[in-house]
Amino acid sequence: MNLIGKIVLVTGAGSGIGRETAKAFAKEGAKLVLCDIKPEAVAETADLIGSAVVLTDVVDVASKNSMKAFAERVSAEVGVVDVLVNNAGVGLAGGLLDVSEEDLEWVMNINLWGVMHGCKQFVPKMVERKQGGHIVNVASAAGYYASAGMLGYNTSKFAVFGFTEALREDMRPFGIGVTTVCPGVVHTNIINETRMAGAADEAGIRNKIDKIYAKRGYGPDKVAAAIVKAVKKNKGILPVTPEAWVMYVMNRISPVFSHWLFGKVERASTPETAGSSFTHPQYKR
């Protein structure tokens, strides 16, 4: 896909992977439609990008009504979206005995329903136009590798992975490409905004894991570059970061061995936070 002049919509564009993805598409000559639940964050992203941004809005992706109103505005003011990037997401740490039903509803409403709302509101017009397009759904390495203490997050990302795989086949007859993005350890602000059910020392755990992620040194700009490349080449499944690729390949070859090996690696590399969901490399945005 030649991205010059194409309309690219990015949800959760106020920070992290969303912001960097918007910037990366702008460099390719695309026109950007951006939304985020935080007005000051999406405004800052728009200021950083400049004239390539044609519309911004404050949207709760978990709300069908909010997404519907956003889609109606985009259709009226900008037109049909060429590339849809469902990026908005949140983190939830904790096992079954820690998380509440409200916690589970929260993470599923944003991480899964946010993606499905985006597809239901914007993809039908792509189909009607009969000019192709591309859909990018940001899942995670947590979408194919499960860990103790990440029950809600794993559930939401496994669901996004499965939904997107089915969507790829669903959209094939219409010439619309679909990419499942699965990052591993990427240093963004998700740790500071994640719900940590059952944690005794939230501040201490956040500080330790943030240092681990910072030391890892893999920024969201690298994920954004991979997303742009995947859209151009119509790539299907896109693990990002070396560990995400290793997990993906090993999990396909031998899931039992993969879980045993990475469990040992996680416990050995971060003993001071053993038992915290944030010791696992699937938290990324």
Catalytic residue list: 153
Q: What angle do CA 272, 278, 279 make, to 5 degrees?
A: 50
Strand runs labelled E in the chain: 7-10, 31-36, 53-58, 83-86, 92-93, 133-138, 176-183, 195-196, 237-240
Please state, in angstroms and rounded to a whole number, the distance separating the CA atoms of residues 192 and 138: 19
Backbone angles phi, psi at 7, to 5 degrees: -90, 120
Residue type, 103: D
Residue type, 131: Q
Both structure tokens of 16 = 């992290």
Please state, in angstroms and rounded to a whole number, the distance separating the CA atoms of residues 134 and 84: 6
Q: Are the C-beta atoms of 123 and 75 separated by less than 8 Å?
A: no
Overall size of the chain counted in residues: 285
Please state, in angstroms and rounded to a whole number, the distance separating the CA atoms of residues 249 and 238: 12
Both structure tokens of 195 = 């719900």
Please state, in angstroms and rounded to a whole number, the distance separating the CA atoms of residues 261 and 250: 10
CA trace torsion 216, 26, 140, 219 (10° rounding): 0
Q: Are the C-beta atoms of 12 and 36 separated by less than 8 Å?
A: yes
